[in-house]
Amino acid sequence: MSTATNGVTSNLTPPAGVKLPIYFDNQATTRTDPRVVEAMLPYFSDVFGNAASRNHAFGWEAEEAVEKARAQVAKLIGATAKEIIFTSGATESNNLAIKGIAEMYRERGNHIITQVTEHKAVLDTCKRLEKSGYRVTYLPVKADGLIDIEDLKRAMTDQTILVSIMIANNEIGVIQPVEEIGKLCHERGILFHTDGVQAVGKIPVDVNAMQIDALSLSGHKIYGPKGVGALYVRRRNPRVQISEQINGGGHERGMRSGTLNVTGIVGLGKACELCQDEMESESRRLSAMRDKLKAKFEANLDYIHVNGSMEHRLPNNLNMSFVYVEGESLLMGINDVAVSSGSACTSATLEPSYVLKALGLGDDVAHSSIRFGLGRFNSEAEVDYVADKIIDVVKKLRELSPLYEMVKEGIDLSKIEWAAH
């Protein structure tokens, strides 16, 4: 297959058995596992009752399915079924946890701590609370993407009611020292919420060992359906109270009203069960494929580097910068591979990712980064094809880059004074 873009053409032919386009964007969303679809099917038609209808068999059957899923979700994170609240997804879970705790504990204090590399669902929620008079501290991260525990200690005051730090980052896959954070919060009597979306189902998560008080998760990141998620809310030591953000009917222990998405919930439960059973072997397979991808790049290209800690990282994530190549041009040159770039197209500007900027990367490096998210349905043959394709396109783009040529000649670009037009 020939791909022509920006004058860059790659004539690589995919090996037998590799179907194009290839999906390597599993941090954004995952394909629903056929076994999950199979579990959901009856609940679209045959078992269609409302789980809140308590006076006939249709409702009882739906409620039974919901309670089974509640147990499946709870088991994956070491919780009890009663601690699981179903939501429409992790964005809602994050909003419910942060706003609900802030409101409920307002008399105790008005200070919240988070970090600069959180998902927008946490950052925007915190910004909204700032408008309502809450104080929010946004912790910086080190060059490897991890927070400094000492920074967290220094930020805590007697007014701090909540710390919200994600387990694993959606862009760079870096895993925070959650156990230490949880311990520190509990010693100080502060509640700890974590956005567990990228971590749950990929690495072992235990809410008790990690001393987590509230945890958000989502179905579509773990081979379940879109539009369904859950919030874990601790029931003892301490018992966490959350004021509901959606009113009407008092469903889900009064924390989240609305008719339950029974079909989606069944799918989420099944997805969690599969993750529980297959996490260990899947994690091994994906990290081996990820490491192979990285090794191929390193053996064939110079001026590339991994963004974020390699040691504390999700098994399926690789975020790499291919310096002296524009990320958007690279994406166009590999238009039969779905990955995401470190720069996001917004209206008329190309802004480098705020996560990569927080690591201290310059715009040029952030703009040249690509996130690879491997998943359950990817094969080693696909890894080989994607690696070869990217190596080919990067080399061709660099042939067109005067900057790359100058660097190869030993010119220090930082010392050049560019003429203004």
HEC readout, 175-219: ECCHHHHHHHHHHCCCEEEEECCCCECCECCCCCCCCCCEEEEEH
Mean pLDDT over 111-119 rounds to 98
Mean pLDDT over 199-203 rounds to 98
CA angle 376, 377, 380 (to 5 degrees): 95
| Closest among 311, 348, 309, 304 to 327, alpha carbons compared | 304
Q: Which of 1-10, 212-221, 342-351 has the highest mean pLDDT?
A: 212-221
Mean pLDDT over 192-200 rounds to 98
pLDDT reported for residue 96: 98
- Domains in the chain (CATH in brackets) are 3-32+279-415 (3.90.1150.10), 34-275 (3.40.640.10)
Q: DSSP secondary structure string, 336-365? A: TEE-EESEEEETTEEEEPHHHHHTT--HHH
Residue 52 has pLDDT above 90, yes or no: yes
pLDDT reported for residue 42: 98
Confidence of residue 4 (pLDDT cuts 50, 70, 90): very low
| Residue 380: HSE in the Cβ half-sphere, 13 Å Cα cutoff | 6
Mean pLDDT, the chain, rounded, equals: 94
Q: Which long-range contacts (CB under 8 A, 24 or more apart) does 236-240 make?
A: 238/191, 238/213, 240/101, 240/191, 240/213, 240/214
Confidence of residue 2 (pLDDT cuts 50, 70, 90): very low
Type of residue numbered 115: Q
pLDDT reported for residue 420: 66
Cβ-proximal residues to 42 (8 Å cutoff; 6+ apart), any chain: none
Type of residue numbered 377: F
Say which residue the tokens 């002296």 belong to. Answer: 324
Cβ-proximal residues to 298 (8 Å cutoff; 6+ apart), any chain: 304
pLDDT reported for residue 1: 42
Higher pLDDT, 43 or 342: 43
Confidence of residue 5 (pLDDT cuts 50, 70, 90): very low
Paired strand residues for 25? 373
pLDDT reported for residue 70: 98
CA distance 197 to 349: 29
| Closest among 182, 175, 233 to 204, alpha carbons compared | 175
How many Cβ atoms are within 10 Å of 236's Cβ, its own excluded?
8
pLDDT reported for residue 348: 52
Say which residue the tokens 């749950």 belong to. Answer: 200
Q: For 375-386, how does the pLDDT look when each residue is reduced to its tens digit (9 = 90+)?
A: 999 999 999 999
Are 129 and 112 in contact by the 8 Å Cβ rule? The answer is yes
Higher pLDDT, 369 or 11: 369
Q: What is the pTM of this model?
A: 0.95
How many Cβ atoms are within 10 Å of 1's Cβ, its own excluded?
11
Cα radius of gyration (the chain) = 23
What residues are annotated to the active site? 345
Minimum mean pLDDT range among 128-137, 162-171, 244-253: 244-253
Higher pLDDT, 421 or 77: 77
Mean pLDDT over 292-301 rounds to 98
Residue 309 has pLDDT above 80, yes or no: yes
State both tokens at 192: 């700890």
Q: For 322-366, how does the pLDDT look when each residue is reduced to its tens digit (9 = 90+)?
A: 999 988 899 999 999 999 987 665 445 678 899 999 999 998 899
